[in-house]
Amino acid sequence: MFLLFYLLEFLTKKMKMKNYDTPFIRLLSKRVLKVSVLCLAVMFSYQIAFSQVGKSTGLELGFCSGGITNMQGQNGLFTGAIFKEFMKYNKKKVNKTGVLVPTYGLELKLNWSYYSINAGGMNLYTLPATIKFNLGSHMVEQSVVYNQKTNTRVHNYTSFRAIYLYVGPEAGYLSTNIKEGNVAATQEFGGVVGGVQIWLNRFKIDIYGQRSLTPVFKPGNYYLQGGAVAFGFAF
């Protein structure tokens, strides 16, 4: 936890050194820091029962870095997303222990990132579709309730820990007023994204990187590339 506070303080100072210390940025930075710390605090203390592990819908909020390669004066600031996951379960373990263990599956995201540039701002919208693999998990199941309306069993948990590795393609849209010479940026692009997720009950830490496969400016070696650390929670 102390490491987190140190990291957040470092990022705040870095933005000030980069001349992003405007009233709006200061206010937004403080709010993002408060939300991030609150999410982590709840991650380590939230122990009430919950269900539907591996089939979650939720939100993310965090910090991003990077920008367009071979261009100066860029700084990643904030990122946010809404996500939906569709996980498969270990049927053998379900039949043996009755506990639903997610193994692999698909996660869809609608992601937004904002970058500050000397010539203006840059909004990046992406739609990743990634394959997730469970590297290890531990859970404590409280009860299994049969739902007569849907003819399904609802598994309720008091504890869930898991680490996922994921990778996949993404489609993106770039909104910016920057130019390379007299050439405007190409708005649509395709790319790849990959990262690691750490789940703690209904909350997660998401660390990932992404890169476009098509250049933003032509001709030239100008690609979108960056990473992010986001804190998410499932509904």
Transcribe 12-26 into DSSP letters. HHHHHHTT---HHHH
pLDDT at 114 over 80: yes
Q: Whats the size of the chain, residue-wise? A: 235
pLDDT score, position 56: 84
Integer angstrom CA distances of residue 195 from 23, 107, 132, 198: 33, 12, 9, 10
pLDDT score, position 197: 96
Which of the two residues, 86 and 49, has the higher pLDDT score?
86
- What mean pLDDT do residues 134-144 have? 76
Q: Residue 48 carries which DSSP code? A: S
CATH code given to domain 50-234: 2.40.160.20
Task: List, in sequence order, every beta strand (DSSP E) within the chain.
Answer: 50-51, 57-68, 74-89, 102-117, 120-147, 152-176, 179-180, 183-184, 188-200, 203-212, 224-234
- What mean pLDDT do residues 135-159 have? 70
Which of the two residues, 73 and 153, has the higher pLDDT score?
73
Q: Would the pTM count as exceeding 0.85?
A: no
Task: For 186-195, write each residue's pLDDT tens digit.
Answer: 889 999 999 9
For residue 45, what are its two tokens? 């203390």
What is the C-alpha separation between 206 and 228, in angstroms, rounded? 8
Amino acid code (one letter) for 165? L
What is the C-alpha separation between 205 and 143, in angstroms, rounded? 27
Domain boundaries, given as residue ranges, for the chain: 50-234
Computed over every residue of the chain, the mean pLDDT equals 77
